[in-house]
Amino acid sequence: MTLSNPSSLDFGDFERDPRWAALCARDRAADGRFVYSVKTTGVYCRPSCAARRPLARNVHFHATADEAERAGFRACLRCHPRRAAQTIRFAIGDSSLGRVLVAQGDAGLRAVLFGDDANELVRDLQSRLPDAALAVDAGGVQAVLEAIVDCIEAPHLPFDHPLDLQGTPFQVKVWQALRRIPAGSTVSYGELARRLGVPDSARAIAAACAANPLAVAVPCHRVIAADGGLSGYRWGVARKRALLQREARA
């Protein structure tokens, strides 16, 4: 039986839909097969979401997260339905700043991570995407990896690959603002907070920069302390300094 919209069905039919049963059971095995939206909240979830069960009359099923978003719903921040059973392809390469891991999903780039050890980079990726199925795909991700390495070595080069920014609305807002900082320029955490209309949120800006999973592609290294100090950097202050020095020369 294929059912899609409870508003056109009597409850008996809807109750027999296996997707409704999976939702009621919070069945993790159903994650990735469909998502459901709730019209009273404007949110869509994966079947296993731990949120309070919605009323059947408010539920609509969608084959994919993209379909739910096209219908005007936003992803649940509790269950992160875009991450459910998604295959993330990744590859690891070398740069003058150490090893680089690049990971990509169907919607775009999900992670760019610096490190010194390949195994540590994979563990970092796993911790960031605990619900994803990770797959080494050197061939499929090679072009993006090479583009990232090119940006590291020659920061004047453009990077136009699509990004799949997954975070809280505030984090995504900060990350998008970081992408508007030109190469060769820097801005303080306080100034960025003022630009975003939240002048008292410099610490929250710093936390969003620290949570950035896309080194170089989302240039959090261009944000510095108010006194001009480099402050912290998730992948080490030495790398931050090197990136800024290269951009200043470019």
Candidates 49, 76, 79, 220; catalytic one: 220
Based on the residue annotation, tell me whether 24 is a catalytic residue of this protein.
no
Based on the residue annotation, tell me whether 220 is a catalytic residue of this protein.
yes
Candidates 45, 49, 79, 209; catalytic one: 45
Q: Evaluate whether 210 touches 232 at the Cβ level (below 8 Å).
A: yes
Q: How far is CA 229 from CA 221, 237, 250, in A?
A: 12, 10, 21
Name the residues annotated as catalytic: 45, 220
